[in-house]
Structure 1
Amino acid sequence: MFERYNEKARRVIFFARYEASRYGSSYIESEHLLLGLIREDKALAIRFLPPHSWAESIRNEIESRITIGKRIPTSVEVPISQECKRILSYAIEEAERLGHKHVSTEHLLLAILREEKCLAAEILQKRGVRLSTSHEWATHCSLGLGADAIREVAATMAEAWNRDDTKALSVLFAEDAEFIDVHGSFWKGRKNIEKALTTIHSSSYRGSKIKSTSTEIRFVRPDV
Structure 2
Amino acid sequence: MFERFTEGARRAVVQAQEEAAGLGHEHIGTEHLLLAVLARPEDPAAAVLVEAGLDHATARQAVRRLLGEGGDAQALASIGVDLDAVRDAVESVFGAGALDAPVEEAEPRRRGWFRSDAKGRRAPFTARARKVVELSLRESLRLKSGHIGVGHLLLGVIREGEGLGAKVIADHGLDFAALRRAIEAKTG
Give the alignment's TM-score, normalised by structure 2.
Answer: 0.66
Aligned 8 A contact 1:110 1:135 in 2:
yes
Structure 2, unpaired ranges of 5+? 74-99, 104-120
Distance of 2:22 and 2:57 partners within structure 1? 16
Flag the structure with more relative contact order, 1 or 2, with Cα contacts below 8 A and sequence separation at least 6: 2
Query: Which residue in the other structure is 1:188 paired with?
Result: none
The residue number in structure 2 matching 1:125 is 170
- Report the identity percentage: 24
What is the alpha-carbon distance in structure 2 between the residues aligned to residue 142 and residue 39 of structure 1? 17
CA contact (8 A) 1:11 1:40 kept: no
Q: Specify the alignment match of 1:24 in structure 2.
A: 24
TM-superposed CA distance for 1:24, in Å, is 2.1
Partner letter of residue 47 of structure 1? V
Structure-1 separation of matches of 2:187 and 2:32: 27
TM-fit CA distance, 1:100:
0.7
- Mapped to 1, the partners of 2:154 and 2:68 lie a distance apart of 24
Of 65, 80, 94, 2:139 maps to 94
Q: What is residue 69 of structure 1 aligned with on the other side? A: 70
TM-score with structure 1 setting the length: 0.57
> 1:170-221 CA distances to partner (integer Å, 9 max, x unpaired)?
xxxxxxxxxxxxxxxxxxxxxxxxxxxxxxxxxxxxxxxxxxxxxxxxxxxx
Q: Which amino acid in the other structure matches residue 106 of structure 1?
A: G
Q: Which residue of structure 1 lines up, in the alignment, with residue 123 of structure 2?
A: 78
Note the C-alpha offset of 1:49. 3.5
Letter in 2 for 1:121: A
Distance 2:24 2:131 in 1: 22
User: How far does the alpha carbon of each residue in 1:27-55 deviate from its partner, in whole angstroms, 9 at most, with x for none?
Assistant: 11111111111113434323234464322
Q: Structure 1 CA distance, aligned partners of 2:66 and 2:185?
A: 35
How far 1:133 moved relative to its partner?
Answer: 2.0
1:104 CA displacement: 0.3
> Residue 36 of structure 2 corresponds to which residue in structure 1?
36
- Count of aligned residue pairs for this structure pair: 143
Letter in 1 for 2:9: A
In structure 2, the CA distance between the partners of 1:134 and 1:26, relative to structure 1 (3 Å rule), is same
What SS does structure 1 have at the residue aligned with 2:27? coil
Q: Deviations over 1:30-88 (max 9, x none)?
A: 11111111113434323234464322121111111113123796852221111100000
The structure with the larger Rg is: 1
1:122-176 Cα offsets, whole Å, 9 max, x none, are 1112334333223323444566xxxxxxxxxxxxxxxxxxxxxxxxxxxxxxxxx
Secondary structure in 1 matching 2:39: helix
Structure 1 residues 14, 24: CA separation in 2 closer, same or farther (over 3 Å shift)? Answer: same
TM-aligned CA deviation for residue 121 of structure 1: 0.5
Residues 52 and 104 of structure 1: CA distance in aligned 2, closer, same or farther (over 3 Å): closer
State the distance in 2 between where 1:35 and 1:142 align. Answer: 18
| Mapped partners of 1:85, 1:74: distance in 2 | 28
Residues 52-201 of structure 1 aligned to structure 2 (within 5 Å): 52-70=53-71, 75=103, 76-141=121-186
